[in-house]
Every structure is written in C-alpha cells, then in structure tokens.
Amino acid sequence: MGRLILLSGPSCVGKGPLMTALRQYEPDLAGRLRQVVIYNQRAPRPGERDGVHYHFRPRARIAEIGQQAEHLLFEARGDLQCLAFADIDRAMQEGHDAFLEANPEMVAQLDEQGVLARHETLSVFLSPLNRAEIEQARAAGLDLDRLVADVQRRKLLKRTTRFKTRLGLPDLEDIERRCTRACREMRLAWRFDWVIPCHDGEEHDNWDAFPLLLGDAARALNCYATLLRSQTCAWAERWPQELIPAQGDAALQR
C-alpha cells in the first residue's frame, strides 16, 4: 500500500507550478503519484479538465453527493467541495502514492476525523512567508493578516489578469476572499509534517520563463522532491502552533 501525499497552502502560493515542475524535472517521482480527484462547484480555469483536476459539478449536486457515507463535504474559499474517502484507497492501488491537493481547512477536518491516521501520510504546506519573516513581522508589531493578504493579493491579481483583460466585481470579490483567508489558512500549517517557504507565487517568472528553475521555485521543487524521497530537507520548516496567533490574540500583543 502506498502513502497519502497531501499538498496544501493559500490560494496562488505556487502549488500548481510546483506540481508542473515535478512532472518536468522529476518524472520518476511524479509517476508514482495518482491524483485523488475531488468535487468542486467552481468553473474550470483555462487548462483544467473535468475528471483530471476536479470533478466540476453544480453546487446542488455536490451537496447531494456529500450526504453519502464516507464522504467529506466542506466549503473552500466560497466553493463547495467534496471528497470520497474510497478514492484515496483507489489511488493507492498497485503501490502508488495517492496525491491530494487540498485546502488547509479540509486537511484539518481529515485529521480531526481520523482519516489521515488510516494511512502512511506525508503532508506539506507551501507558505508565502518563512518562519523568520513571520517572527520579524510579529516583533515589529505588524498585522500579519493584512501583510499576508497584501502579499497574496498581488499574486492573485496577476493570475486573474492573465486570463481576463478586464476584471468585474465578482473577480475582485473572489480575489479578496482568497487573499484575506490566506493568513487564516497559514494558522493551520502547524498540523502539517513540513512547511516549504516559497515566495515565487503561481505566476512568477522563476517557474517557467527561463531554461531552468530559479530562486524559490527551484528551492521549493528540490525540497519537495527530497521529502517525497523520505529524506530530510534543510529548506523545509516545522512550525509550532503558536507561531501565528489568532487575530484577537495578535491584537492584544501589539
């Protein structure tokens, strides 16, 4: 039986290009992974395919599926999603590792419900800030939620304008929903085995504009590949639960 590999992090932190780079530069490692496809109510982005990246279904249909036993129904950044636990076992057939790219809050629910305990698991959180930067921001009395939202907003705007020349109100609302949830999602990073810092977000040139990966894109890939090989990576971090205080606690400390 293979492992369950979980990859998570805030929206637009770079999970997609990380997996693209893994397939390009580490095809043997990528070939061991079998993706667990979850249900998602949102429309496909350019390049996404139904049944490959997600099962794209209407919200009402996903809600119906989620009422079945051994299914997890959850909200992810305004979208209703659903995971069938049997799909994890199915992906592990013939010794393959099951790969699940999941919202951090979904991973927390899987952990709380004991689903992760059923499997040998490697969980990795991709973070837009490293531990030292978070500690520096706290020492300076900065609002971490606002800082992280500002960092991710720029990345989300760049990603969205790549596909749309003119953004409407729904696009801007979606960007705000995603960037303002980023720090809240980072508060769950302590639940993961490893945190990989990556400042090169989804649309950063370091992923694909040059003949080789550069900067944090290269470091993130090398670190992720090392962890997949069950080896230790010096770039990876482990975060204590108290690293990012809840918003109310952070306000009291300033």
Q: What is the mean pLDDT of residues 166-184?
A: 95
Looking at residue 180, its pLDDT comes to 97
Q: pLDDT over 70 for what percent of the chain?
A: 97
33, β-bridge pairs: 97
Tens digits of residue pLDDT in 120-134: 999 999 999 999 999
What's residue 249's pLDDT?
A: 56
The answer to whether the beta carbons of residues 16 and 202 sit under 8 Å apart is: yes
Judged against a pLDDT cut of 50, whether residue 254 lies above it is answered with no
Domain boundaries in the chain? Answer: 4-36+95-253
Cα torsion 148, 154, 158, 160 to 10°: value is 60
- Residue 75: pLDDT band with limits 50, 70, 90: confident
- The average pLDDT across 140-165 equals 94
Rounded (10°) angle between helices 104-112 and 169-186: 50
Q: Is the alpha carbon torsion for 184, 187, 191, 195 positive or negative?
A: positive
- pLDDT of the residue at 8: 98
Kindly report the pTM of this predicted structure. Answer: 0.91
Among 106, 105, 197, 202, residue whose Cα is nearest residue 152: 202
**Fold exhibited by the domain 4-36+95-253:** Rossmann fold (3.40.50)
